[in-house]
Structures are given as C-alpha cells and as structure tokens.
A and B are shown apart, each in its own frame.
Chain A
C-alpha cells in the first residue's frame, strides 16, 4: 500500500485537487445562477439546491479526509475510531436542530 502511494501518489493528489476545484466551481456557479427549478421547497424546510450543496460538500470532505489526510491508507480500526464518533454525533445534533428549530420558529 505504501509502495503504491510512493509511485502513483502525486498523480492521484493532483486528480483529487481538480475534483475539489471542479466541485467548488459547480457550487459557486449554482449559487450565482440559482436555477429556478431547484428553488422549490422540499421536506418542508429546505430546497433541492441546498440539498445539492450539502451533498457536494460531503463529497469534498470525503476526498479531503481520505486522500489529503491519507485516511485511506490507515488500518480499519483507526478509520472506525475516527469516523464513528463523527458519523453518530453530528447527524444526531443535526436531527435536534431540524426538529427543535421548527419549534423555535413559531415561539
């Protein structure tokens, strides 16, 4: 695995860089144009555009963590140690926000 990194490493990093660049450009483009068909409300609290933004952000975050922080080369136990607390606690916090936030709105 580390041999693989030594040879194809730089090329892969440049590819990841361009992925991040293109995704950011798409986000900025969508943010400036704000296509009308994506602006309608879904699930009662946000728009398709916002959902696209969040999905693209998670996509970018995945590449930063896996490629730049080189988590892809770590042992499974270390990967789980890092991912699990984040993947359990942050969605939980977001759940609280979405339910309680709609309550606060009327208060």
Chain B
C-alpha cells in the first residue's frame, strides 16, 4: 500500500519527502562535508586577513624564504626545502588514508588497519616537523634591532646591511665578516651592536621586499637613541624577521592548522582502534573510515593553501 501512495506523489516529494537519502550520502557524511565547508571558510578568512596585513605593511613584511632557511643536517641557507618535505609527508599520508578507505570498501580489516597506522605515523611526523620549524622560528637566526622609526610608523624591526645594502647578521656585524660561520644562538647587547655599527659603513634596512634603507648617519642616530633594542627570534611581541603581524599570523595560522592535524591524528587513532576491534566489520561497512578520511584530506587541502600563501607567494 505504501508503494501505491508514493507512486501518486509528485516527483519532488518522492525524493525530498524523507525516509531516503536524496544526495546518496549518509547523514554523517553530509554533516562532515558541511563542517568542512565552514572550516574552509574559516581558513580562507585567516589567509585573507594575512594577505590584507601584508598589503598594508609591505615594506616591513618578511620575505618567507629569508625566514625559513634551515634544513636538518645541511649547513647554510636552504629556502623552501624543509617546507617542501613537510608538504610531501602530508600528501603521502593523504594517499595512505585514501588507500585505507579503498580497502574498507572491500571489507579488508587488516589492510584498513595497516594503512591507517601509516597515516597516523605520517601525521605524527608532520607534527614533529612543525615543532622543529617553530623552534627555529622562535630561537631566531640572524638577529635584528628594533628602533623608533618615526611618530607615524612607531617601532620598527630593522636589519643591519653592509655598504651595498646586503643584509648581514648581528654575528657578522659584531665579529666582522671574516669570522663567519658562528652559531646563531649567540646573543648580543645593544652596546656591542652600536660599537660595531659605528666602526664601519653599515646601514639599517627594513626587511621587506620594498623596504627603506637608511644611510649610515641616520641609522646610527636611531641606534644610539635610548629605546633601541636588540631582538633575537620571534614571539608574540617581538619579531626579528620583520613586522610583528607576520609572527602573529605565522603562529596563529600554522598553529591552527597544526591543531587540526593533531585532532586528525587523535581521530584516526580512535577509528584505527575500532577497526582493529572489528567494530566496522560487524557493522558491515567502513563508512567511519571514509568520514575521518574526509577530515584528513581536508587538513592536507588546507596545508596546500598555507604552503602557497605563507611560503611561496
């Protein structure tokens, strides 16, 4: 009888009248998608705000490849290599996740578990890499000085440069170029920097692409004022690489993304545990793996954009 009534109904009510899945996706999967849409909008808001501040403070905005230059085990400047490795790790863990989903469609419990463990390990390696990058960002590299630039521009991060305008580190400034190759963990006082600066044709330059360069006398006058200070590394109030907003956005956006990765690893582990208990085998389908997989791929998707807008552009 139910069949006869539904046959008489207009087409729309048959599809959207309830009791079936008009989009051929379960409630849980739809809700995961809707959450991911809202999360995508959140991240696009953050990245847009980043871009807005970057436009506003262009002269003092750090050039990312001068900021993230370390690679474990290799000396010297290696721009982009480390973050490329992080991207690679996340893409690989995305592939292992999708292979777990694939095996889930064939109800192969052990294989789902193995691919999920590979995904969890990939996520953990990514988190470790991020911690390593944060460490180097916070400790700092070449050091800089903060001076009161003018009434309108307030305090500005400035980096010493040689007579040709090439940036030099505080270590090279104080010890002289010839000494070279000393650890970047050495800290200097403002007096050391003043003395070394006065002893050569050095200038102060803004760290951005189109940053201003001050001549030697103007630089020295700023350095000699009472409120000049040396900064090493970056935190929420000081940033040796350039404008303070850069450090704040770096901590916030990569931190927010890293927190997503962290949650993803926890969720993956819970689902992995259930897989091994045989929960989904008994249920007859592995849709939970698919849902957590959607979240995991989204984390990879966001990283692709963070990679572009933070490190490349």
Distance A67 CA – B313 CA, assembled complex (angstroms)? 26
Contact with B along A26-49 (1 / 0, CB 8 A): 011001100000000000011000
A27 touches B312 (CB 8 A): yes
* Cross-chain pair count, CB within 8 angstroms: 125
Contact of A54 with B308 at beta-carbon distance under 8 Å, contacts A93-B45, A97-B52 already known: yes
Chain A residue nearest to B105 (CB atoms) is: A6
B81 touches A28 (CB 8 A): yes
Chain A residue nearest to B44 (CB atoms) is: A90
Cβ–Cβ < 8 Å partners of A96 in chain B: 48
Contact of A32 with B87 at beta-carbon distance under 8 Å, contacts A53-B308, A53-B312, A105-B55 already known: no
Contact with B along A50-75 (1 / 0, CB 8 A): 10011011001100110111100011
CB distance from A24 to the nearest CB of B (A): 6
Q: Does B223 contact A (CB under 8 A)?
A: no
CB distance from B73 to the nearest CB of A (A): 18
Distance A78 CA – B99 CA, assembled complex (angstroms)? 23
A78 touches B84 (CB 8 A): no
Cβ–Cβ < 8 Å partners of B48 in chain A: 93-94, 96-97
Contact of A28 with B80 at beta-carbon distance under 8 Å, contacts A86-B40, A89-B41, A93-B48 already known: yes
B88 touches A21 (CB 8 A): yes
Q: Which of B179-187, B262-270, B297-305 contacts A (4 or more CB under 8 A)?
A: B297-305
Contact of A74 with B25 at beta-carbon distance under 8 Å, contacts A104-B55, A105-B56 already known: yes
Contact with A along B275-313 (1 / 0, CB 8 A): 000000000000000000110011011001101100111
Residues of B17-52 contacting chain A, CB below 8 A: 22-25, 30, 33, 37, 40-41, 44-45, 48, 51-52
A69 touches B37 (CB 8 A): no
Distance A28 CA – B86 CA, assembled complex (angstroms)? 12
Q: Does B60 contact A (CB under 8 A)?
A: no
Cβ–Cβ < 8 Å partners of B52 in chain A: 97, 100-101, 104
Q: Does B66 contact A (CB under 8 A)?
A: no
Q: How large is the interface on B (under 10, 10 to 19, 20 to 34, 35 or more residues)?
A: 35 or more
Secondary structure of the B contact surface, majority rule: helix
B79 touches A31 (CB 8 A): yes
Cβ–Cβ < 8 Å partners of B80 in chain A: 28, 31-32
CB distance from B256 to the nearest CB of A (A): 17
Cβ–Cβ < 8 Å partners of B307 in chain A: 57
Distance A17 CA – B93 CA, assembled complex (angstroms)? 11
Q: Does B124 contact A (CB under 8 A)?
A: no
Contact with B along A1-37 (1 / 0, CB 8 A): 0100110011001100100110011011001100000
Distance A82 CA – B38 CA, assembled complex (angstroms)? 10
Distance A68 CA – B99 CA, assembled complex (angstroms)? 9
Residues of B83-129 contacting chain A, CB below 8 A: 84, 87-88, 91-92, 94-95, 97-99, 101-102, 105-106
CB distance from B281 to the nearest CB of A (A): 18
Q: Does B58 contact A (CB under 8 A)?
A: yes
Contact of A101 with B51 at beta-carbon distance under 8 Å, contacts A17-B95, A68-B98 already known: yes
B300 touches A68 (CB 8 A): yes
Contact of A13 with B87 at beta-carbon distance under 8 Å, contacts A50-B313, A104-B52 already known: no
Contact of A10 with B40 at beta-carbon distance under 8 Å, contacts A17-B95, A81-B23, A97-B52 already known: no
B22 touches A17 (CB 8 A): no
CB distance from A1 to the nearest CB of B (A): 10
- Provide a sorted-by-A list of 12 A–B residue pairs whose CB atoms are within 8 angstroms: A17-B92, A24-B84, A31-B311, A46-B313, A53-B313, A57-B308, A69-B294, A69-B301, A81-B23, A89-B41, A97-B52, A104-B56
Which 8 pairs from chain A and chain B are nearest by CB?
Answer: A101-B55, A78-B23, A57-B308, A28-B84, A104-B56, A68-B297, A53-B312, A90-B44
